Amino acid sequence: MILKKEYRRIFNSENVHWSKDTTMNYFFLKATQSCLTDMLRARGHLMLNEAYDVLGFPRTAAGAVIGWVYEEGSDFGDNFVDLGLGKCEEVGPDIPIIFNVNGNILDKLGEEP
């Protein structure tokens, strides 16, 4: 798991999915976290840019190679997407998103035929 500043984002009023209701923001992010984990498990990998797309953040060059790999029984990663959300009571108008990415996963994707 890699926690680097360049992969962190702030979910706030500048985001298209943001709501004035902080509880709704928390539930949106929790539901999205579950959806992203389902995508990871279904495909075996997930790029950070795909998570950015779903969450309403702009894509980055790093997001094209950084991401998650699902490898059951492996120590490579967590096998789930975690946005680093705290408890609902701790959520304010600006919610920090701290992705638990595995790092550069290109070499884990295999080769195309």
* pLDDT value of residue 64: 96
Q: Model confidence over 1-16: pLDDT tens digits?
A: 555 677 899 999 999 9
Query: Tokens 């959300």 belong to which residue?
Result: 85
Q: What is the pTM of this model?
A: 0.87
Q: Provide Rg for the chain, Cα atoms.
A: 14
Residue 90: enclosing H or E segment and its boundaries? Answer: none
In this structure, the number of other CB atoms found within 10 A of the CB of residue 12 comes to: 13
Task: Indicate the domain borders of the chain.
Answer: 5-107
Strand segments, DSSP code E, in the chain are 9-11, 45-47, 66-69, 95-97, 103-104
Higher model confidence: residue 112 or residue 110?
Answer: 110
